[in-house]
Amino acid sequence: MPLRLYNTLGNKVEEFAPSDDNLVRMYCCGPTVYDYGHIGNFRTFVAVDVLRRHLLQSGRKLRHVMNITDVDDRIIERSAAQHITVRQYTEKFEQAFFDDMALLAIHKPEVIARATDNIPEMARLIEGLAQKGIAYRADDGSYYFRIARFPGYGKLSRKDLAHIEDGARVDSDRFDKEEIRDFALWKAPKPGEARWQTEIGEGRPGWHIECSAMAMKYLGPSFDLHAGGEDLMFPHHENEIAQSEAFTGQTFARFWFHVRFLLVEGQKMSKSVGNFFTVRDLVLKGHKPSSLRFLLAGAPYRKQLNFTFDGLKSASSSVERLRNFKLRLEAPLPPGRNPAMQQLAQDTQRLMAAALDDDLNAAEFSAAIFEMVRQANTAADSGQLFAEDAPPLLAALAQFDHIFDVMEDRDAAFTARVVEWARRERPDVEISEAALQLAASASVGDGEIEKLVAEHVAARKARNFFRSDAIRNELASRNIVLENMKDGTVRWRRK
Ligand code: AMP
Ligand code: ZN
């Protein structure tokens, strides 16, 4: 089945295919690295990761570009206040962003482009626009985009042109503008501010021109898909279209993919309300990275996601359920096969692919695997699951995990890293007992566990229950659970 995606440009679900052979060229607006990312930001990046993984699973090739916005007003202000360079200020948050991406199993795009590494390209684009009379230079050396020269303005967000005024993220500097709705392409430096020397003078780029210049540099004047959170639709993406299309005369991006916002307990996240969470905050409260990944990946991207702690807990038990199911399939099963299980695995694989092809319906996608797990567990409980049923069921599970990526247990190791970071950088932040325990279990190497498990089994055989129980408790305190299998062997796993 072909992939169908909602296209903001045109406001309808359409069949998506790359324009050039089998290679999907896509651009996603990246983070502004002035602070640690919050779970709302990562909702968007996880949704784009689901799209990425589905395209690859469907046999497409990818050239996915993401920018790092490492210059903006806040960054300039904060670095100046700390008497450090812009790069010195941003590098810590850029690294933190990549660490959080890894924590949430978000794959890296093929190309990552820093704004400050591409300033000459931005200046050249502005110069080109000025030569065409679409951009103009103000007395102070700033450049603005002349919206009156781009009749298509508003086509993405379907805004009524007459009512376009400064929105929340519109540049607020209005001096020297011919028209209030014209937006800044280049900002002349104020005294003491960081600046770059370019062929259009000194200053710094506006945020919108950054994405136009880098998208076209790495993907060409016209490409397949452009993504970002819903707040970027206007004015950011509208301005990207205006700058790029006014310059090239070609369609900038054919598909526009917007991810709806994440709310916390029904409210917009805000530091003053106290419902603002970074990924690290949640890990320090004792929540597993895989629970957050599961929660974010399972939410259909076009629906608002209401984040709740109950939801996070239930995501954690869902992951647990899948991991236990996998252990069950990997344990010895009686010889033979059950045709119903073979069929179930096949149907599930088909349902999962169809769910994602249907505008990335991640909820239906995961519902299919849980239905499979339910039916297979019921069969196993009544002795109707056999050795030859395991491979197809495991294949369906692998297809699921290729998108969700929650089966491999990296929770302890990631939590240990966040705990270490908090002790170093945030000694004032409270670390929960649960996080400390999970982190501690990471330091127990597999070899050491195997040794203790073997000792436990030997003690039990020798009917030294005092010793075998002591080992079981010792392991439990490090979050390692022992499971007695029907065939008499003992397996272990991290809780
Ligand atoms: P920023 O670092 O502010 O430039 O944002 C990075 C990405 O996160 C952008 O694509 C935003 O649209 C997105 N974003 C910001 N807040 C939220 C939210 N609450 N829910 C979903 N995405 C968000
Ligand atoms: Zn952008």
Instruction: Give the pLDDT band of residue 165 (cuts 50, 70, 90).
Output: low
pLDDT at 296: 98
Query: Residue 203: is its pLDDT beyond 70?
Result: yes
Nearest atom in ligand 1 to the alpha carbon of residue 231 is 12
Query: Residue 227: is its pLDDT beyond 90?
Result: yes
Using a pLDDT cut of 70, give the percent of the chain over it.
97
Q: Tell me the pLDDT tens digit for each residue of 400-433.
A: 999 999 999 999 999 999 999 999 999 999 999 9
Give CA–CA dist 400/402, Å, rounded.
Answer: 5
Contact (Cβ atoms closer than 8 angstroms) between residue 3 and residue 16: yes
Of the ligands numbered here, which is closest to the C-alpha atom of 29?
2
Kindly state if the Cβ of 276 falls inside 6 Å of ligand 1.
no
Mean pLDDT, the chain, integer: 94
Kindly state if the Cβ of 68 falls inside 6 Å of ligand 1.
no
pLDDT at 163: 57
The four Cα atoms 324, 377, 361, 353 give a dihedral, to 10 degrees, of: 100
Q: Treating both helix axes as pointing N-terminal to C-terminal, what angle do 362-381 and 390-404 enclose, rounded to 10 degrees?
A: 150
Kindly state if the Cβ of 32 falls inside 6 Å of ligand 1.
yes
Kindly state if the Cβ of 90 falls inside 6 Å of ligand 1.
no
Of the ligands numbered here, which is closest to the C-alpha atom of 66?
2
Nearest atom in ligand 1 to the alpha carbon of residue 41 is 8
Fold that domain 21-264 belongs to in CATH: Rossmann fold (3.40.50)
Kindly state if the Cβ of 212 falls inside 6 Å of ligand 1.
no
Query: Residue 308: is its pLDDT beyond 80?
Result: yes
Using a pLDDT cut of 90, give the percent of the chain over it.
82
| Rounded distance from Cα 136 to ligand 1 centre (Å) | 30
| Rounded distance from Cα 193 to ligand 1 centre (Å) | 26
Nearest atom in ligand 1 to the alpha carbon of residue 261 is 20
Kindly state if the Cβ of 44 falls inside 6 Å of ligand 1.
yes
Kindly state if the Cβ of 399 falls inside 6 Å of ligand 1.
no
Instruction: Give the pLDDT band of residue 175 (cuts 50, 70, 90).
Output: low
Q: Where are the domains of the chain?
A: 21-264, 444-495
Kindly state if the Cβ of 29 falls inside 6 Å of ligand 1.
yes
Nearest residue (CA) to ligand 1, atom 7:
41
| Rounded distance from Cα 3 to ligand 2 centre (Å) | 24
pTM, two decimals, is: 0.91
Kindly state if the Cβ of 41 falls inside 6 Å of ligand 1.
yes
pLDDT at 483: 85
Nearest atom in ligand 1 to the alpha carbon of residue 232 is 12
| Rounded distance from Cα 122 to ligand 2 centre (Å) | 13
Residues with CB under 5 A from ligand 2 (ion): 29, 211
Nearest atom in ligand 1 to the alpha carbon of residue 229 is 12
Nearest atom in ligand 1 to the alpha carbon of residue 69 is 4
The arithmetic mean of pLDDT across residues 382-403, rounded, is 98
Give CA–CA dist 379/139, Å, rounded.
Answer: 77
Nearest residue (CA) to ligand 1, atom 12:
229
| Rounded distance from Cα 481 to ligand 2 centre (Å) | 46
Query: Residue 57: is its pLDDT beyond 80?
Result: yes
| Rounded distance from Cα 40 to ligand 1 centre (Å) | 6
